Amino acid sequence: MKTGKIYRIAGPVAVAELDARMFDIALVGDEKLLGEVIQINGNRCTIQIYEDTTGLKPGIPVVNTEEPLNIELGPGLLTSIYDGIQRPLPRLKEQMGDFVRRGATATGIERRKEWEFKATAKKGDDITGGSVIGEVMEGQMLHKIMAPPNTKGKITEISSGSFTVDEVVCKLDSGDKIKLMHKWPVRKPRPTSKKLIPNIPLITGQRIFDALFPLAKGGVAAIPGGFGTGKTVAQQTLAKWSDAEVIVYVGCGERGNEMTEVLTEFPKLTDPRSGKPLLNRTILIANTSNMPVAAREASIYCGMTMAEYYRDMGYNVAVMADSTSRWAEAMREISSRLEELPGEEGYPAYLSTRLADFYERAGRYKNLNNTEGSISVIGAVSPAGGDFSEPVTQGTLRVVKCFWALDSKLAQRRHFPAINWLTSYSLYLSSLEQWFSENVAEDWRSAVDKIMSILQEEEKLLEIVQLVGSDALPEREQVTLQIAKLAREMFLQQNAFHAVDTYSEPKKTYSFMKTILKYGDLAYNALGRGSKVSEIISIKSKEKLSDVKFEKDYEKLLNSIVKEMESEFSRLKVQK
Amino acid sequence: MKEYKTISRVAGPLVFVKKTEPVSYADMVKVLLPNGEEKNAQVLDTSDDLVVVQVFEGTSGIDLNTRVKFLNQPMRLHVSEEILGRILSGSGKPIDGGPEMVADKIMDIAGAAINPYSRSNPEDFIQTGISTIDAMNTLVRGQKLPIFSASGLPHNEIALQISRQAKVIGKETNFAIVFAAMGITNEEAQRFIQDFEQTGALERSAVFLNLASDPAVERLLTPQLALTAAEYLAFEKDMHVLVILTDMTNYCESLREIGSAREEIPGRRGYPGYMYTTLANIYERAGMIKGKKGSITQLPILTMIGDDITHPIPDLTGYITEGQIVLSRELHQRNIYPPIDVLPSLSRLMNLGIGSDKTREDHKQVSDQLYAFYAEGRDLRGLVAIVGEESLSERDRRLLKFAAEFESKFVKQGKNEDRGISGTLDTGWKLLSEIPESELSRVSPEMRRKYYGKR
């Protein structure tokens, strides 16, 4: 290994006299602090250091490991909580106490634990990168052991039994040895065989998302919003209820207390589909805002690489990145230390390229081993001043197909999720239509379109109301406003903290839409027959719709509401 | 420890020293002027050829004959329980005429991040006696909840009222206040100290003062020192510490000054790109730790420049802290104290601290309903200005009246009025009971039956 010495230290970056390639990992000083080469200038290179640099001085030694930033992939990732460079936080606590101090070393995957390995390949089988050679049970999840992407050969030896991640379970004639665990550089996407068109929805259990702005498995969505609009609550809700098999939650430069909340809450919650604790399918990466900034930059890539590993097994994975703006700011901070010429608002000129590279790693894929898997990415964006024209939001918008715009006006009146239904969009609406019509209801799309057009019409009408007051509107429009109000308050609003309302299955979402539309039809009919607007508006049974949200046995309740509605409307006096 | 007389350049608060032995990053430095004056400084950038240090007391009087001494250690604070009742300067020296303190422990002031795995969930409700905070933006132990104010608004009175009245109901409290002033006027500082004296809180307080007349760069140290003291009291001495930091805007201005002196590429409005990280290093030092009895609750105060909440200082703060209390000039002008505008205000940890076992079963629903009606009522005020009150529907007129009464009965209260949470919620119900029961869509039928019209 090549060695050198430190020449200069300023904040999170150091300059060293060291022979290195770009993105080599270097160990700085006697404490062997992890750093990454990010610029080379003659015989000097700049290293971003993943730990606090206080007290480092020029002249201390540096060692080049001549390897890029790797993480460990193997059984034991699920239920873990890591810092930005895959060091398990519980192990850091054991070593350093309650505060994260520098110089701790901990492997990403527990070495001592033994796993029951069941070989599925046999002697003589041809193995290429990605081939499944066997499986272990990771909690309740079937964890496939795959040949690392760069291996090739015929199996000469393979055995089932109890192994630690570090023991060889399979040997190839090429000399390659396969263990339960292997390493992969985080900045390099894991190879696949083909990218597929995403056409299956990621069911989130959130009515506004599933119905109006659906996300596909393998799709990418952005949630931008100023502070206090509910980005984190939305991210956490999606992490809880999305029907992905594995969730990677990256807390990137966010609040410590929020990560604690996830840590205390997730073990108590059960997955509505499998009935198992939600934590069992989750990997948490916590780089809070006061942890070293360089590690924050790396945390996003760590999360993505772990997601790719599970995708390669044929699973659907969802990555929650909260928040990509902090990641971009980490880039900005490092870039300004390098004295690079800045682009907009001090961000590096390569910001949008990096954003695109990251989001492009999402998608539905045919894997090297012919299984199909997907990675959906939901990135929170924290625009400065809540202004969506800033570079990170704009760079993100260019690559994502699903835009869930949070609105501080809605948040202020406690309309949650505070997703603005007029500015948000999903380009997956049409490609997912078929799935919904086959799996939920044939007229799903037409119901969605009707609800959407009522909401859009409401916006126009409200402008008029602003000028002339609501009584001056024609009767038909007054009824429309009433239907839109129902859609907003009863349908779009969803209480993430209520045990039942927090998750709404697609069927419930559909029945809900239909009932609101039913009220609309009855109301317009009654109006046509000459009933008074005031009577139509004061139909009692529609108020009960809000109880449906909180009712487990919603079908029975909805049926009774519809019946009541029908009879109430039939009793309305017909004038003329 | 060697001294160097190799200063090559002085610019703003920075001194550049050539050809030294290897000097550690972030170490402390003494600058010795020819006239015998001594200044404190810290290493900002270090290399074989050049060391850049920032001087906390300003660089006036420094010349090329000035000597520089590297102390070979980071900035530290001597802490012990004796710090309670003392008044210290912004760089941690006693200025109350009392004796030097005997150290129980010497701590690095930079602090370290609390391991998220070690944190315990903040969930103890703190009753501040202020309705708009208790009912609608509930403060809990271990939270960081800033007051977003503007020049001329009574943020200091509110901070004082909170520090006087804050309590956790039904729990013995071993409390302490750490007060850090950054660039506030002498008069403002006196008011705080007097109030602490009158209520006897001074004995339980550690006061760090960097006043408007003190060196601006020194205030970069003040919050670090204050929070180091707070961490000692909370996590070593089991105290529940309330930290008041005022005014964070002055702190950020100093940060900008250093950035521009170093000729760094600026981010928004000239503030350095790393300001988010720097602020996070302050605010994130609030919280509770599993297995430790104490806690740090932060109440930073900042004045929004030009009343603009999207200015980088409040903006970045809002992204780090767990909510914000926003003061409104309009309410203040209408003589409503405290002029807390609940609509943009928020407490993110509220849901953890309320409910039947902590405050009352109806708390969340009452709060949501008050929010919804008040927001609608406020919107209607704009409409009335255009179309007049006559053309409003009956429901709209009710909401308009609700908004007015909400401000005069619920928001407005006395500077010494300590309202209990139950009373506050009952006031909320009184206001809600003016609206027909069927319109209370945020309140469950069960709660309506129990409380509507009965308080």
Per CATH, the number for A444-570 is 1.10.1140.10
* C-alpha span between A482 and A479 (Å, rounded): 5
How far does the CA of residue B357 sit from the closest CA of chain A (Å)?
16
Domains of chain A by residue range:
2-68, 110-180, 194-430, 444-570
Q: Is the pLDDT of residue A446 over 80?
A: yes
H or E segment to which residue B423 belongs = helix B421-432
**pLDDT value of residue A549:** 87
A494-504 average pLDDT score: 89
The mean pLDDT of chain A is 92
Judge contact between A73 and A274, C-beta under 8 A.
Answer: no
Average the pLDDT over A489-517 and give the result.
92
Question: Does the distance separating the beta carbons of B372 and A261 come in below 8 Å?
Answer: no
Q: B27 phi and psi, to 5 degrees?
A: -70, 160
The 10s digit of each residue's pLDDT in A426-442 is 999 999 999 999 999 99
Nearest residue of B to residue A262 by CA position?
B121
Give the gap in angstroms from C-alpha B35 to the nearest C-alpha of chain A.
30
Chain B residues with beta carbon closer than 8 angstroms to that of A96: 115
Residue A191 preceded by cis peptide, ω within 30:
no
Q: Which of B115, B275, B281, B320 has the highest number of chain A CBs within 10 A, making it the mutation to test binding with A?
A: B115
- How far CA B350 is from CA of B84, B175, B189, in Å, comes to 30, 21, 31
What are the tokens at A206?
């959130």
Section B77-105 average pLDDT: 92
Cα A209 to Cα A235: distance, rounded to the nearest angstrom: 12
Distance from CA of A216 to the nearest CA of B (A): 29
What mean pLDDT do residues B245-265 have? 91
Interface test with A, best of B52, B117, B371, B389 (most A CBs within 10 A): B117
Q: Does the beta-carbon distance from B284 to A290 stay under 8 Å?
A: yes
Q: Which residues pair with A526 in a beta bridge?
A: none
Residue of A nearest to B27 (CA): A55
**CB–CB of B26 and A54 under 8 A?**
yes
Cβ contact B25–A56 (<8 Å): yes
Mean pLDDT of B136-152: 95
pLDDT value of residue A569: 92
- Give the lowest-confidence range in A237-251, A394-408, B232-246, B373-387: B373-387
**Does A158 or A471 have the greater pLDDT score?**
A158
Cβ contact, residue pair A550, B349, below 8 Å: no
Cβ distance of A9 and B45 shorter than 8 Å = yes
Q: Are A421 and A492 in contact (CB under 8 A)?
A: yes
Is A90 in contact with B276 (Cβ distance < 8 A)?
A: no
Instruction: Give the nearest chain A residue to B365 (CA atoms).
Output: A414
As beta bridge partners, residue A286 has A251
Angstrom distance (rounded) from CA B163 to CA B278: 26
Percent over 70 (pLDDT), chain B:
100
Q: How does residue A265 score in pLDDT terms, banded at 50, 70 and 90?
A: confident
Q: Does residue B119 register a pLDDT over 90?
A: yes
B117 with A329: Cβ contact below 8 A:
no
d(CA B54, CA B66): 14
Find the CB nearest B117 among A81, A289, A291: A81
Is CATH 1.10.1200.10 what the domain over A2-68 is classified as, yes or no? no
Residues linked to residue A157 through DSSP beta bridges, in sequence order: A171
Radius of gyration of chain B (CA): 25
At the top level of CATH, the class of A110-180 is mainly beta
For position B194, what pLDDT does the model report? Answer: 93
How many A×B Cβ pairs under 8 Å? 216
Per-residue pLDDT reduced to its tens digit, A51-94: 889 889 999 999 999 999 999 999 999 999 999 999 999 999 99
Q: Has residue A576 got a pLDDT over 60?
A: no
Cβ contact, residue pair A255, B376, below 8 Å: no
Return the CATH number of A194-430, one of 3.40.50.300, 2.30.29.30, 2.60.40.1120, 3.40.710.10. 3.40.50.300
Per-residue HEC secondary structure of A160-208 comes to CEEEECCCEEEEECCCCEEECCEEEECCCCCCCCEEECCCCECCCCCHH
Distance from B197 to chain A by nearest Cα, in Å? 34
Q: Name the pairing type of β-strands B295-303 and B147-149.
A: parallel
Cα dihedral B283, B285, B290, B295, rounded to 10, equals -90
pLDDT band at B399 (very low <50, low <70, confident <90, very high): very high
Instruction: Name every chain A residue with its beta carbon within 8 A of the beta carbon of B324.
Output: 227-228
Q: Do B292 and A9 touch (CB under 8 A)?
A: no
Q: How far is B51 from chain A (nearest CA, A)?
A: 9
Please give the helix or strand (H or E) that residue B233 lies within, else none.
Answer: helix B222-235
Positive or negative, the CA dihedral B364, B370, B374, B376 is: positive
Judge contact between B158 and B147, C-beta under 8 A: yes
Which of A17-31, A51-65, A331-345, B126-140 shows the lowest per-residue confidence on average (mean pLDDT)?
A: A331-345
Lowest-confidence region among A364-368, B172-176, B393-397: B172-176
Instruction: Say if pTM beats, i.e. exceeds, 0.80.
Output: yes
Q: Output the pLDDT for position A1.
A: 77
- Check A413 against B376: CB less than 8 A apart: yes
Q: Is B416 exposed, middle or buried (0-12, 13-18, 19+ CB in 10 A)?
A: exposed
Confidence of residue A385 (pLDDT cuts 50, 70, 90): confident
